[in-house]
Structure formats: C-alpha cells, structure tokens
Amino acid sequence: MTQSPVRLWRKQTHDKKLLETTGVILSWTEISVAPPKFASGTPYTVVLVELLSGERTYGQLVDFKDSDRTIGAKVKAVYRRYGTVAKEDLIEYGVKFKPL
C-alpha cells in the first residue's frame, strides 16, 4: 500500500523540524520480523529518543556499532530513505537517528 503524495509531503514537512536535532536514547529494540516494505532491511534497531527540547520520538538507528546501542547514548536526527518501493511508487524519506 502506498501513501498519497500529499500525505508524504505533510509528514516530511513535520519531519523537517527534527533534522539535525540531538537527543539521548531512552530505549531500543531490534526488529527481526517486519512488514514487507521493511523486510529487506531486517534485522534493524528502533530507538525511543528524548530530544533536547524534551519531546520524545522514535526512529530507526543507523550507522552504528553494537556499543552505540545503549540507553543514554547521544544521537542526531538525519534524513534517510524508508524501506523498499515498487518501480512506480514514490520514494519515501524520513527521520532516522545516527550516533554522535
């Protein structure tokens, strides 16, 4: 199932305010069984992050070593591609987190 271009645009407009913000990992989990759109990337790690603003959000942890995957580790929000898409689908991008 694909999302409408308008819905993707609205989501990306919201995500823009998170870019380059930093925070700390509050919790994490490793996903081994994922929906078809994300299955090619399993296993992957999802983190719950508390940003410096106090807001809490979640996203995939990217470009990390196992030692980076600890509670209290500092991370930065980056923009990356989400999942796999069919040939005629829109390529969706969103916020993920990278260790500092």
Which CATH number is 9's domain given?
A: 2.40.50.840
Task: Report if pTM > 0.75.
Answer: yes
* Contact assessment for residue 99 and residue 74, using Cβ atoms and an 8 Å cutoff: yes
* CA neighbor of 52 nearest in space, from 85, 81, 74: 74
What are the tens digits of pLDDT across the range 26-42? 999 999 998 887 888 88
Q: Strand 44-51 and strand 22-31: pairing? A: antiparallel
Q: How many domains does the chain have?
A: 1
70 has a pLDDT exceeding 70: yes
Q: What letter does residue 44 receive in the DSSP assignment?
A: E
Domain limits for position 82: 5-99
